[in-house]
Amino acid sequence: MATGKVKWFNAEKGFGFIEQVDGGADVFVHFSAIEAGPGSYRSLEENQPVEYDVTQGQKGLQAENVRPL
């Protein structure tokens, strides 16, 4: 798993970007990729540290299995 911090996340639109710790390209994150407990709201906060898997999406790097740290 990779680690990074949330660059920005728009909760109304349900997506944002993660800045990779290693300095690679920013990674797109969709709210459906955020792991949340039962009844929890799937959202992220700016500068929040996260752990995630990187996959190749249709438009570039995409985060999956995103876990807030």
Q: How far apart are CA 22 and CA 42, in angstroms?
A: 25
Q: What pLDDT sits at residue 36? A: 83
Taking a C-beta distance cutoff of 8 angstroms, is the pair 20, 26 a contact? yes
Q: Amino acid identity, residue 7?
A: K
49 contacts 60 by C-beta, under 8 angstroms: no
Confidence (pLDDT) at 67: 96
Domain CATH for 7: 2.40.50.140
Q: What digits encode the pLDDT tens for the residues 3-47? A: 999 999 999 999 999 999 998 999 999 999 999 877 778 999 999
The tokens for 56 are 């190749």
The predicted structure's pLDDT at residue 40 = 78
Residue indicated by tokens 């995409």 = 62
- CA neighbours closer than 13 Å in the CB half-sphere of residue 28: 13
Tell if the pTM clears 0.85, that is, is over it: yes
Q: Could you tell me the residue range of the domain that residue 47 belongs to?
A: 2-68
